[in-house]
Amino acid sequence: MAESSHFTEADYYQARFDPRAYMNKFYCRPGHSDENHYVIFVLECLSRTFSTGQYKGRSLIEVGSGPTIHAVISACEHFDELVLSDFVDRNREEIRKWVKNEEGCFDWKPIIEYVCEMEGTSSSDVEVKLRQRVKQVLKCNLLSENIFYPESIEPADCVITSLCLEAACKDLPSYRDAFCRVAKLLRPGGSLIMVGVFGETFYCIDQIRFSCLKISRADVEDILRNLDFTVQEFNIFPAQDRENKVFFFLVALKSIKTI
């Protein structure tokens, strides 16, 4: 197994992260392997959250999409404009290929069909709408003061981030700073939807090891409190592969006051 002796930062991802290996491991079809029980947990949480009709608006930003589109399937009915993003060039290219329906793009149909079956909607209609509503696929760097530099993005009604901050930040101070930058992408009163993992120090894709910042629920709740967010829900899901590793899904509302 290839390992890094230090925290695997952005350049390591640019050089070593294989988007197809990642998607084939987790996103082929729900229930196909132990690894994507986590995916089912996330898809069901997202579906339940957006099905309430409470979280809607003009724009949604996903910070750190990786090469995936699964996090915005349930959201696409409720927002006119979706902005996806990632640091790794190959990840953004995978998203663009799917949005343009290019030959050889990753097959997201099984995941879309799973979501649509839960929600009683047409998978073909949702697929078309999702492609239409993804307006931008931007490069993002959580460690930069302007995450989307040189682009300037208006604050959104909703921000989603999934398994991103832990992978990008090597210590708790940088995690807090990145969390604050994500919060600034939201308009006052906007909703933050976050998926993360507690108790994790690394993960592997195709025998390549990537670092993960070990955080706790107390860390996340403390940051949310300091940023004046109100938590609406906080769900946890124990991982299948290691003890003390727990995935979480949270929804929080940003204060109407400006941070």
CA 81, 43, 56, 143 dihedral sign is: negative
Annotated binding-site positions? 22, 27, 64-65, 86, 91
Annotated binding-site positions for S-adenosyl-L-methionine? 22, 27, 64-65, 86, 91
CA-CA distance, 240 to 132, in Å (whole number)? 36
Contact 122, 116 (CB under 8 A): yes
Burial of 154 (0-12, 13-18, 19+ CB in 10 A): exposed
| 3-class SS of residue 27 | coil
CA atoms within 13 A on the CB side of 116: 18
Give the torsion through C-alpha atoms of 39, 43, 46, 52, to 10 deg: -150
One-letter amino acid of 206: D
SS3 of 153-180: the string is CCCEEEEEEECCHHHHCCCHHHHHHHHH
> Smallest Cα–Cα separation from 246: which of 220, 227, 209, 225?
220
CA-CA distance, 198 to 130, in Å (whole number)? 31
Q: Whose structure tokens read 């409190």?
A: 225
C-alpha 18 chain-centroid distance: 17
Greatest CA span in the chain, whole angstroms? 48
